[in-house]
Structure 1
Amino acid sequence: MDATIAGRPRALTPAPLLRFALRLDAAASGVLALLMLLGAPLLADPLGLPEGLLRGAGLVCLPYAAVLAWMTGRPSLPAWAVWSVIGLNAVWTADSLLLLASGWVAPTALGTAFVLAQAAAVGGFALLQWRGLARSRA
Structure 2
Amino acid sequence: MTTSPAAATAAPPRPDSLLRFALRLDAVVSGLNGAAYLAAAPLLDDVLGLSGGLLRGAGVFLLVYGAAVWLVGTRRPIPATAVEAVVAGNSLWVVGSLAVVATGTLTPTTAGAVWLVLQAAVVAGFVALQVAGLRRR
TM-score band w.r.t. shorter chain: 0.7 to 0.9
Normalized per residue, the structure richer in strand is 1
Structure 2, unmatched stretches of 5+, are 1-13
Take 2:124 and 2:56, find their aligned partners in 1: how far apart are those partners?
21
* TM-score, normalised by the number of residues in structure 1: 0.84
Percent of residue pairs identical: 47
Report 1 or 2 for greater relative contact order, CA contacts < 8 Å, sequence distance ≥ 6: 1
Which letter does structure 2 place at the counterpart of 1:130?
Answer: V
Aligned counterpart, 1:9:
none
Moved over 2 A (4+): none
Aligned counterpart, 1:59:
60
* TM-score, normalised by the number of residues in structure 2: 0.85
CA-based RMSD of the aligned residues comes to: 1.4
Q: Offset at 1:14?
A: 6.1
What aligned pairs does 1:96-115 form with structure 2 within 5 A after superposition? 96-115=97-116
Q: Offset at 1:107?
A: 1.7
Normalized per residue, the structure richer in helix is 2
Q: Flag the structure with larger Rg.
A: 2
Aligned counterpart, 1:47:
48
Contact 2:72 2:83 in 1 (8 A): no
